[in-house]
Amino acid sequence: MTPLVTTEWLAAELGKSDLRVIDATVLAPGMKGDARAAFEAAHIPGAVFFDLDEIVDTATDVPHMLPPAEKFASRMQALGLGDGSRIVVYDDSPLHSSARAWWMLGLFGAHEVAILDGGLAKWHSEGRQMESGKPVVRHRHFTVWADKKNVRTQAQMLENLKTKAEQVVDARSAARFAGTEPEPRENLRGGHIPGSKNLPIGLLFNEDGTWKQGEALQSAFTAAGVDIAKPIVTTCGSGITAAVIYFGATLLGAKNLALYDGSWSEWGASPTNPVVTGAA
């Protein structure tokens, strides 16, 4: 599979024995609703719910941190995701949260994972089949291995301030990046990591919610001052939309990519980490 698949492609592939579909919708802080309940009310046939708020490291209070490999494997097996599965991820979220699930699955050893272009909104707008209820799945074996080479820690981000070896690209809104809009989570300072570039994720999508591609996508990175050919580490509020920037760079062929898992929830909570306000 290519990293990005169309609704037409998925409709033709639904029902094949090796295909698995997952809904990775997560709501932003302050948003009303229940993503799991919405999934049970209406989802793409055969889909299972990938709970990004639960498949996390509970040993830390930093939200959405990567879980231990054993926990990830257990959750994937319970969702019927196993070795040899072709996995298509979608969401119905302004955060485009399917990118986080795509990134996690690849990190923990899944080999064929794609994102559904346009997500559930496009699928539904085209009048395609939906179903409701809790899915019944058969447990499968998921061989897990955690390749952390594309994950950055706070210590590594502090070191990068000295070396400037990697471009830091922040997916938050311009106002949050500048520190002129309060963070949605409590006890976080406003602003951004010194030297980082701002690329709000909305700039990567067309009006219908599909991904920009080719020159249009490249232009978004270029306008933000990001060089796809050079090392990039992405960040955001809690590691969700950082994966959107990561995926967009992947579509452009970027090879040297990493994601700061703690993101601003960790960096902005520290009283000693350097913080810059204002535009980049």
Residue 80: name the closest of 22, 132, 130, 3 by CA: 22
C-alpha span between 4 and 265 (Å, rounded): 29
What would the two tokens of residue 61 be?
Answer: 């209070």
Is residue 137 exposed (0-12), middle (13-18) or buried (19+ Cβ within 10 Å)? Answer: middle
Residue 146: name the closest of 112, 103, 115 by CA: 103
H-only helix segments in the chain: 7-13, 35-41, 69-78, 98-107, 119-125, 154-163, 174-178, 214-223, 242-251, 263-267
How far from 197 is each of 84, 85, 185, CA to CA, in Å? 38, 36, 22
Query: Which residue do the tokens 């990039």 mark?
Result: 232
What would the two tokens of residue 102 be?
Answer: 């795509």
C-alpha span between 39 and 9 (Å, rounded): 21
Known catalytic residue at 33 = no
Residue 23: name the closest of 127, 142, 145, 134 by CA: 134
Choose, from 236, 242, 245, 254, the residue flagged as catalytic.
236
Query: Which residues are identified as catalytic?
Result: 236
